[in-house]
Structure formats: C-alpha cells, structure tokens
Structure 1
Amino acid sequence: MQVDFYHLTQAPLDRVLPQIAEKVLAGGARLLIVADDAALRKRVDQLLWTYAPASFLPHGMAGEAWDADQPILIAADVQGANAARHIALIDGLWRDEALTFDRAFHFFDEDSIGAARVAWRTLGERDGIDRRYWRQDENGRWAQVA
C-alpha cells in the first residue's frame, strides 16, 4: 500500500488534483475522490469538467446515476461504488479506511499540516505502508522529500 502526502504550498488543489486524476486514468485505474465538505465536492465536480480547454475527466458525484460506471467518483466518504483502487483525500483529513486501497493521495495545506504530521507518524508505525512526502519547489515542480 502506498500513501502519497501532497503538501500544497505553491499550487492549489485545483491545479494538482486534475494532474493526478489524469495519471490514474492513463494507467487504466479508477479513482475515488473524498471530501466531507459538500461545497468542496461541488467545486471539484465543476473543476474536472473545466480545468483545461482540451481536457475532460469523466466523473460523477456519488449518489447519482451510474456510480459503478464512473472512472472517477466524488464522494463524502470512503465507501465508493466505482471499484476504485486509488483514493484521493482532498480535504486535509486522513481516513484509515483509505488503507484498503492500493494507493492513497493525501492532500493537505498549511491549515491541516498538524493533522498530516500525525497521520505521517502513525502510518510510519504500521507494516506494509510505503509513505512518500511530496512538496513543490519554488519553480512549481514536485519533489519527493521523504
């Protein structure tokens, strides 16, 4: 199980999440995007339709038609119905249920850095978890720093 911690310092979630989602889909996998906040879920729904003029990320909101068919499903909890093996936790909150997936992306900013540090330490005490910490440099490039 791999957990990628993404510290959002230079670029906001709106620029980073679509890139991760594109890579997941390009690899033939599905993605579950989780946020407790309904307004954030709605914003991400709109983002995935409009983030780039030449791009489109097929997705749906959990609880609407065809959840099981969605390559990307946006939900309030980890109980995704799209059989995803990748999960993106986008609201800064770690959820242990994410450990049932093959890969988790945990996005956090300065407001949620304390909780991310606790999750990092806690996951480090468990066997079978490959943790990676990503941070952007001053040029906007992502670098793995741990």
Structure 2
Amino acid sequence: MGAAYFYHLTQRPLVETLTMLLGKAQGAGWRVAVRGTDQSLLEQLDVALWRGPEDGFLPHGLAGGPHDAEQPVLLTTDTHAPNNASCVFSIHGAAVSAQEVAALDRVCILFDGLDDHALNVARDQWKSLKAAGASAQYWSEESGRWEKKAET
C-alpha cells in the first residue's frame, strides 16, 4: 500500500524540486508518470528537464510518442500511464484518487505555496485522501530544507 506525499513549494521552483524527486524515484527503481493538467505546461517542463541539471541526465518522454511504454518518466495529462508507472507525480493540480494511492508505491503532489489556487486545490486533495483513509504526509520547505509537518 502506497502513500501520498504533499510537497509545499515555497523556496525552490517546481522544476528544481521535481528533478530532485524524480532522481530519488529512479534510485528506488520506480517508473514514473508526471501528471499535469495542461499540455503546453508539460511541453515547457519537458524542455526544462532536458536542459539540466548539468551533473545528471533524467531520461523521460512526453506522452504521445511511439515509445511511451518504455519511458522511465512519462509526462502526461492522462490518468492512465502506458509506462506502467509505480509512482505518480501530480503537478499543477492534477487529480489523484485514493485508489491510486493504495495501488501505487508512491504518489507525490507538488504545489506552489505562493499560489492561493494551488494551495486550495492541495488542501482539497489532502482532505479527500484523508477522508478516504489514504496514507498521506505533508512536507514543507519553509525552513529552507524539507521537513515532514503532518501525517495521516
């Protein structure tokens, strides 16, 4: 049974945090789906991930290509990832269900702490997952490093 980890971004941009977390997911041997809500924002993320960091390479692909099933990290707007993901990263408020949390190794929900709409979406996701009995953790970087602040 998996868990949902909520990451409240206040110090670092999404791309930097996502790159770090994707590296950890790859280290754990997980195939990942990065689920967004807007194709153009995923295309921008795709370009940013190809550009850096200089000290590492993050193999990934944008959904819709001929090799989606083989991608270790697949950027998608779809709830079904053809790469057999065991971990889903939700960005830009993409929906996540309690059933997914239970079925996957990990669900990571990243949200911009400086955006009121993103905060409200994340709060609603937390409440919904908690009400459904899903395991969840809330992580904050407010102090400058990641700290677990709450757990269900």
TM-score, scaled relative to structure 1 = 0.91
Q: Structure 1: how far apart are the matches of 2:72 and 2:149?
A: 30
Which segments of 5 or more consecutive residues in structure 2 lack a partner in the other structure? none
Aligned match of 1:145? 149
Which segments of 5 or more consecutive residues in structure 1 lack a partner in the other structure? none
Aligned match of 1:116? 122
CA RMSD of aligned residues (A): 1.4
On the 8 A contact 1:93/1:116 being kept in 2, the answer is no
Show structure 1 runs of 4+ deviating over 6 A: none
Secondary structure at the counterpart of residue 33 of structure 2:
strand
Aligned match of 1:40? 41
Residue type of the alignment partner of 1:17: L
Residue type of the alignment partner of 1:103: R
Q: Structure 2: how far apart are the matches of 1:101 and 1:123?
A: 14
Residue correspondence of structure 1 range 1-146 to structure 2 within 5 A: 1-96=2-97, 98-99=100-101, 100-109=103-112, 110=115, 111-127=117-133, 129-138=134-143, 140-146=144-150
Aligned length: 144
Q: Structure 1: how far apart are the matches of 2:70 and 2:94?
A: 26
Sequence identity percentage: 33
Deviations 1:84-110 (A, max 9, x none): 110001112333264342210011123
Residue type of the alignment partner of 1:108: F
